Amino acid sequence: MTKLNNALTLFFSLLVEAMPFLLLGVLFSSVLLLFVDERKLVALVPKNPALAALSGSLIGCLFPVCECGNVPVARRLLVQGAPSAMAIGFLLAAPTVNPIVFWATYTAFRDQPEIVFLRLGCSLLIATIIGWIFSAQVDLRPLMQPAIARMMPAPLKPSKPSGYVGDGPVPELLQPGTFLLGQSGQPLRFDGLLQSSAVSSSVLSKPLAVRFQLMLENILQELRELGGVLIIGAAIASILQVTIPREWVLGLGQDQITSILAMMLLATIVSICSTVDAFFALSFASIFTTGSLLAFLVFGPMIDLKNIALLLSIFRGRAIVYLFAIAGQLTFVLALLVNIYLS
């Protein structure tokens, strides 16, 4: 009975903590859909995949949301045709690099300022590397949930000159695909990015009152969808917290390697929002190594049980496994280097 009460307390605590940030993220997502021309935003993204991933990571500085709020924004970016490197970089970095989290981390670790800057730098580095790796997948739709994949534009194929297939020229109207007649009388390919651009243009041309009404409807729809997923994730995290003995995790705190693994496991289970997780980590500062504290602060905002439930609204399971594995390995290596050379 005590465990049940503790689980319910943790469950409602996680919901109260996460729901305002989920609402903020859904609000950003709806504004992005109905009041911002994504074509101009996407056009500003560098063509180089590594630079695109870095720019997406840095855009996270402008969004004061935790991992609950950045998921709807990242989903909107992918649906509107943003490069996968940019969207993935934003998805992983935004919960950590925004000014609210930076201020909260500095407040908690003002006596260890190196942790504040290492958290920022490691999060940007890992998010950029993973975004760059995912850019190798030209068509991201096989890794997405079917509902999201259907809304995403098909990738363009710029590798061959227009009108040429195989060894000889082929008229464009004999090629597969959907075409429109352009102003100069030349055929224009309609599939791919142009499809989402047309949809975006039709929404932006509507009167302001209509767009506000559409924004409200979109907010309610995304809250119903992501709110249900958040409840499931919070329930799983609460149950695991009361069933796995915390003493078992704390017993691993002094070793350079096991302390990192223990804090990464703890970050995954407790699923604390990035805006307050620094104060939770501070309570372990006298027991655990510096590298393990850094691992907790970097890995938790990227992948935790509550966040996995939200990510499943965008990605298929194997894509989340890739994210989990790559982010986990990079976090472990960086935290181990900190333990060896800076502790």
Does residue 70 contact residue 80 with C-beta atoms inside 8 Å? no
**pLDDT mean over 274-282:** 78
**pLDDT mean over 249-260:** 78
Print the SS3 string covering 131-181: HHHHCCCCCCHHHECHHHHHHCCCCCCCCCCCCEECCEECCHHHCCCCEEE
Q: Which residue has the higher pLDDT, 19 or 110?
A: 110
CA 78, CA 46: separation in Å to the nearest integer? 16
Helices 258-270, 290-302: axis angle to 10 degrees equals 30
Residue among 33, 13, 102 nearest 62 (CA): 102
Question: Can you tell me which residue has the tokens 């390995």?
Answer: 329
CA 322, CA 50: separation in Å to the nearest integer? 18
Q: Give the DSSP H/E element, type plus range, for residue 271.
A: none
Q: Of the given ranges (27-41, 44-58, 134-148, 248-262), which has the lowest mean pLDDT? A: 27-41
Q: Of the given ranges (188-202, 236-250, 313-327), which has the lowest mean pLDDT? A: 188-202
Q: Write out the two tokens for 166.
A: 């195989």
* Residue 313 pLDDT exceeds 80: yes
Does residue 135 contact residue 85 with C-beta atoms inside 8 Å? yes
Q: Give the DSSP H/E element, type plus range, for residue 187.
A: strand 187-189
pTM as predicted: 0.74
* Residue 166 pLDDT exceeds 60: no
The tens digit of pLDDT for each residue in 67-125 reads 666 787 788 788 877 888 999 998 999 889 888 788 888 888 888 899 999 999 999 99
CA 153, CA 111: separation in Å to the nearest integer? 49
Per-residue model confidence (pLDDT) at position 201: 54
Helix, strand or coil, per DSSP, at residue 286: coil
Contacts of 126 (CB under 8 A, 6+ apart): 92, 298, 302, 327, 330, 331, 334
Per-residue model confidence (pLDDT) at position 196: 45
CA 105, CA 41: separation in Å to the nearest integer? 30
